[in-house]
Each structure stands twice: as C-alpha cells, then as structure tokens.
Structure 1
C-alpha cells in the first residue's frame, strides 16, 4: 500500500464570478449619486479589465466598488496586475488591469524551492502553468498545503485534484 498521493497547485480566476462582480459593480455605479453624469465603466477584454472614469479620484472610487464586489464573490485581489493611469478620449482616464492566470515560471521555481527546503517528504514538478505535488503520506501533503498558504507568494493559490 505504498501508492503515491498527489494534488495540483493552480492559480486561476473564476471568470463567471468575475463577470458577475463586474455586473454588480456597474449596477451600483449606475445607481450611486456621486457617479450621476459621469462616464465611468468597467469592461472585460480577454485577460484584462479596462476601467474608465472622469478623473483619478472617480476611477479610484470605481475600483473600490469593483474590489468590494470581487471580494464578496470570493475572487482574490492578488491576481490583479495594475497598469498605469493613462488619458483616454473626451477628457477621461483609463486604467488597464491584467488578470494573472496560471503560475508563471518564477513563481513555480519559488514554490519548488520552498517545498524542497521545508524538509517534507514530498516531490514537486512543474506541469505547464500548474505544479503537481506528490508524496506517500497524506499528512505531508496537508503540511505542504499549509506551508504554501502561509508563504509570501503574491498569487492566489488553489489546491485541486487531491488524491
């Protein structure tokens, strides 16, 4: 009974939940008094959000509304990568926010080193944009999950396929 147990470490955003959060934020912006007559909007383009508003102050308010809706729907803000503020058409400002999907090479290497240095009896290997962690003892795998949750990696990690 020396079978290997494993789980996968992934980093992904639930796009349906993100869509719902954007729709809720736009509804609130349409109904709020301080946004009456403003040109504020949130759009989702493939792997980035585009937030447009009248000025920097209102753009920050739109982002606050969006962040609160995302947190309520269980979407981590760690997977957002903010671009710089840029002027847009008809005296508005725009900010592009990239969505981090998957675990990049530098984060994957950092996770591998973290698991290797922990002295747990687990092995990890990079498989595309996810990491497979294997070990004989389920308790070691649970400790590895705890270790990764407490680490300072700036990605929202999910643990799937625990077998």
Structure 2
C-alpha cells in the first residue's frame, strides 16, 4: 500500500543564508543608515531583530520574509513574537523557528485528513504523520489539501514516499 510521511523541517544552512542576505540588504538601504538594525541567531530555535523604531522593525521583518521566499524557505516555519523595548532607545523582536510536528499539530492534521473525505488513513509517529492509501493520486491530493488548510500552521514536506 502506498504511503508517505509528512514532516516539518527547516534547512538551517538555507536559513543562515537568508539571514545573511537580509542583513546585507539592511546595511545597504538608505532608510536604515545609522540605525544599528540587525538580525541575529539566538541558538537554533530563534532569531532576534533589533531596531531603533517600529518602522525599521517591520521593514526588517519584511526583508527577512522576502529573502525566505527567494530561497524557498517556508513562511510557516517562523513565528514572530511581540515587539518589546530592550533599553537604550532600541526595540527587539524574537522570532521563533518552528521545526517538527508536535502532538497537538499532529492531531489537527489527522482531523483535517478525516474531514477531507479522501480515502486514506493517517497516524502520528514521533514528529511526523504517516499517510497511507490505495492510490498515489489520493496521497498527493491529501498533501495539496493540507498545504492550503487553515488549521495547519507548520510548513509541511513530503518524505519517504513508498509505492
């Protein structure tokens, strides 16, 4: 029986390239001159944007998202938090990097698959969801359905396709 695994993973090498490209664009833009706006990694789970005002903060986040789109890094893999003052007339925003499918998200994905009406079965297995069906077309239809579903808030990839 054909099957595949739904996973949510992020290529950290690509994400580093995205951050470097965004930082280079920020340092070259006229409206950022002398503002000390920066995007930095805070470990493997988060990014931090520092800027002197709200406008520069949102512009830096937009630049980051544009570069993610250029490098085919999923937009759903980041979760911007609230902007907060960091002292010295600067603001900071933490951006969480999401990878993996947790139990709650796995339940939502399973529920969405059942609601779709496509004749497949699914089960949550340790940060991935295995989908099985009789036809490969049904499996591909489920994948396309989940990529556009409103309850799925992680970036999904198809892995380990078996015929």
Quote the residue 1:12 is aligned against: 9
Q: Secondary structure at the match of 1:82?
A: strand
In structure 1, how many angstroms separate the alpha carbons of the residues matched to 2:141 and 2:63?
36
Quote the residue 1:26 is aligned against: 23
Q: Secondary structure at the match of 2:20?
A: helix
Aligned-pair CA distance for 1:143: 2.2
Aligned-pair CA distance for 1:114: 1.9
Task: Look at both structures and tell me which one has the larger radius of gyration over its CA atoms.
Answer: 1
Aligned-pair CA distance for 1:147: 2.1
Regions of 4+ moved over 6 Å? none
Change (3 A) 1:117 1:29: closer
Quote the residue 1:94 is aligned against: 92
Quote the residue 2:123 is aligned against: 125
Change (3 A) 1:93 1:135: same
In structure 2, how many angstroms separate the alpha carbons of the residues matched to 1:138 and 1:83?
39
Gaps of 5+ in 1: none
Match of 2:56 among 55, 58, 73: 58
Q: Secondary structure at the match of 1:17?
A: helix
Quote the residue 2:159 is aligned against: 160
Instruction: Give TM-score, length-normalised by structure 2.
Output: 0.91
Query: Is 1:42 equivalent to 2:19 in the alignment?
Result: no
In structure 2, how many angstroms separate the alpha carbons of the residues matched to 1:21 and 1:57?
21
In structure 1, how many angstroms separate the alpha carbons of the residues matched to 2:144 and 2:58?
34
Superposition RMSD on alpha carbons, in Å?
A: 1.4
In structure 1, how many angstroms separate the alpha carbons of the residues matched to 2:75 and 2:12?
14
In structure 2, how many angstroms separate the alpha carbons of the residues matched to 1:109 and 1:71?
28
In structure 1, how many angstroms separate the alpha carbons of the residues matched to 2:11 and 2:126?
19
Q: Secondary structure at the match of 1:162?
A: strand
